[in-house]
C-alpha cells in the first residue's frame, strides 16, 4: 500500500513539474466559405488546440494554474477544395492580476497572412531546426511570443530567450515563401513584431510592461493610491523611448489593447494624478488620445 502511495505521489509531482505553458482556446471559422466541410474544421480546431496545449515550449516548470490564458480565432477566407487555406488570425493572451479575478491583456495581434496547407488526417509536427509546414511554424512562433511577453510581465526582460526562439522559427520559415515572415511582406507582420521585441530601442516599453503589471496592477488591491502613483511614474519613464518609434507595431498593438484598461485604472486616482496621466499618455500614445479623454473628467 505504501509503495502504491509513493508511486501515485511521484506521478502526481511529475504531472505538476512538466505541465505545459499554454491554456489555449481555439476557434476555426469559415463564415464565407460555403463549400468547406464543417467536420474538417472541427478536426482542425482540435488539432491546433492540442498542438498548442500539449507541446512543451520551455524547460520551465508551470503549475496547472499558472498556464497562460490565450485565444486563437482563425478565420478562413478561402479554400481550394484540397489542402490550401487562406486565413487570418486574431491572437490574444492575458495574465491574471494579483488579488483579483481580472485578467490583463498582454498581446492582441491580428495576423492577416495566416495561410497554410492542411490535409485531413494530417499530424501537426514542429522542428526547431527545419521547416515542416507553415501552420506549425505559425503556431510555434506565437507560442514563443506569448510566453515571452508573459515572462516580461513578471521579470525584467525575461522574455528575451523566447523571443529569440520565435526569431529562429521566423528565420527558418522565411525559406518557405509564405507571407508574413519577411520585412518586405508589410509593416505590421510577424517579422516586425519580433524585430521590435528584440530591438533595444523598445527596451523602455518592455520594462514598462514589467513595472506596470508587477509593480502597478498587482499592487492595486494592497494600496490603490500608491499603485496608481507608481504607474504614472512608470509612464514618465516611458517618455525616454524614441518618439520616432511610436508608430511601430509593438507599441501600436500594445497600447491599442491596453488604452481602455489604463484609463479605467488611472481613473481611480485623484484629479491631479489623472491630468498628469493624460498629459503623459497623449505624448506617449497619440494614436489613442481620444480614449484617454476620460482622464480629464473630474
Each residue's pLDDT tens digit, 239-268: 888 777 878 999 999 999 999 999 999 999
Regarding whether 236 and 151 lie in a shared domain, the answer is no
DSSP letters, the chain, are -HHHHHHHHHHHHHHHHT--SEEEEEEEE-TT-TTS-HHHHHHHHHHHHHHHHHS--SSS---GGGSEEEEEEEEEEEE-SSSEEEEEEEEEEEEEPTTSS-EEEEEEEEES---EE--TT------SSS---HHHHHHHHHHHHHHHHHHHTTSTTTTHHHHHHHHHHHHHHGGG--TTSSGGG-SSSHHHHHHHHH-GGGHHHHHHHHHHHHTTGGGTTT-HHHHHHHHHHHHHHHTTS-GGGTTSHHHHHHHHHHHHHHHHHHTTS-HHHHHHHHHHHHHH-GGGHHHHGGGG--
Identify whether residues 223 and 193 lie together within a single domain.
no
Q: Are residues 270 and 139 in the same domain?
A: no
The residue from 140, 175, 198 where one domain ends is: 198
76 and 45, same domain (yes or no): yes
> By residue range, what is the domain housing residue 278?
205-296
Per-residue pLDDT reduced to its tens digit, 171-192? 999 999 999 999 999 889 999 9
Same domain assignment for residues 216 and 265: yes
Q: What is the arithmetic mean of pLDDT over 40-66? A: 95
Residues 156 and 279 in one domain: no
Residues 161 and 126 in one domain: yes
Tens-digit pLDDT profile for residues 6-38: 333 333 344 444 589 999 999 999 999 988 888
Q: Are residues 141 and 281 in the same domain?
A: no
- The total of structural domains in the chain comes to 2
Same domain as 52, residue 85: yes
**173 and 101, same structural domain?**
yes
**pTM for the full model?**
0.92
Which of 167, 198, 229 is a domain's end point? 198
Give per-residue pLDDT as tens, 139-175.
Answer: 999 999 999 999 999 999 999 999 999 999 999 999 9
Provide the mean pLDDT of the chain.
Answer: 92
Domain termination residue (choose one: 142, 165, 198): 198
Amino acid at each position: 500500500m505504501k509503495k502504491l502511495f509513493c508511486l501515485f505521489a511521484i506521478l502526481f509531482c511529475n504531472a505538476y513539474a512538466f505541465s505545459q505553458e499554454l491554456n489555449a482556446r481555439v476557434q476555426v471559422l469559415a463564415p464565407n466559405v460555403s463549400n468547406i466541410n464543417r467536420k474538417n474544421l472541427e478536426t482542425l480546431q482540435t488539432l491546433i488546440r492540442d498542438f498548442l496545449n500539449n507541446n512543451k515550449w520551455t524547460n520551465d516548470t508551470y503549475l496547472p494554474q499558472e498556464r497562460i490564458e490565450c485565444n486563437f480565432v482563425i478565420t478562413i477566407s478561402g479554400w481550394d477544395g484540397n489542402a490550401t487555406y487562406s486565413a487570418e488570425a486574431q491572437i490574444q493572451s492575458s495574465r491574471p492580476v494579483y488579488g483579483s479575478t481580472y485578467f490583463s491583456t498582454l498581446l492582441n495581434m491580428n495576423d492577416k497572412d495566416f495561410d497554410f496547407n492542411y490535409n485531413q488526417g494530417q499530424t501537426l509536427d514542429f522542428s526547431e531546426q527545419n521547416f515542416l509546414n507553415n501552420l506549425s511554424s505559425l503556431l510555434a512562433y506565437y507560442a514563443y511570443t506569448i510566453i515571452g511577453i508573459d515572462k516580461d510581465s513578471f521579470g525584467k526582460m525575461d522574455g528575451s530567450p523566447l523571443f529569440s526562439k520565435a526569431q529562429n522559427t521566423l528565420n527558418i520559415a522565411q525559406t518557405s515563401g509564405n507571407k508574413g515572415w519577411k520585412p518586405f511582406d508589410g509593416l505590421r507582420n510577424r517579422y516586425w513584431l519580433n524585430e521590435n521585441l528584440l530591438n533595444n530601442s523598445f527596451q523602455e516599453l518592455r520594462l514598462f510592461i514589467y513595472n506596470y503589471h508587477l509593480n502597478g496592477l498587482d499592487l492595486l488591491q494592497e494600496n490603490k493610491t500608491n499603485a496608481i502613483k507608481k504607474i504614472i511614474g512608470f509612464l514618465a519613464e516611458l517618455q525616454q523611448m524614441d518618439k520616432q518609434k511610436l508608430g511601430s507595431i509593438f507599441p501600436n498593438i500594445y497600447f491599442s489593447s491596453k488604452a481602455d484598461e489604463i484609463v479605467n485604472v488611472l481613473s481611480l486616482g485623484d484629479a491631479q494624478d489623472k491630468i498628469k496621466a493624460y498629459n503623459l499618455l497623449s505624448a506617449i500614445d497619440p494614436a489613442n488620445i481620444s480614449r484617454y479623454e476620460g482622464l480629464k473628467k473630474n
